[in-house]
Amino acid sequence: MRTRTKPLLRVWEWQAEAACRGMDSSVFFSPAGERGRARLRREEAARAVCGSCPVSGPCGRFALTSQQSYGVWGGFTEAERRSTVRVNRK
């Protein structure tokens, strides 16, 4: 019998090359109550990391396909991912 699933390592292997590997996750995920300029500054810092990352494409696709609700993934914020999902559903 053939299976359509990929070996687990292949699903995650892109992370080994991620520019954010080993970084503090607080750069990518907002603390409770974060708003306004503080949120924008944190998101800009996260985007800067993603901008130099060789696997930002796979990271962003992973976030969309796995419906990640929080954080900056592949340079895309939570709001941008929600917007993309809404556009694709129409």
Selection from 57, 59, 66, 29 nearest residue 45 by Cα? 29
Question: Is residue 13 pLDDT above 90, yes or no?
Answer: no
Q: How confident is the model at residue 10 (pLDDT cuts 50, 70, 90)?
A: confident
**pTM recorded for the entire structure:** 0.81
Domain boundaries, the chain: 56-90
The pLDDT tens digits for 36-82 are 999 999 999 999 999 999 999 999 999 998 899 999 999 999 999 98
Q: What CA–CA distance (Å, rounded) separates 84 from 9?
A: 28
For residue 71, give the DSSP letter. S
Q: Determine the pLDDT at residue 84.
A: 77
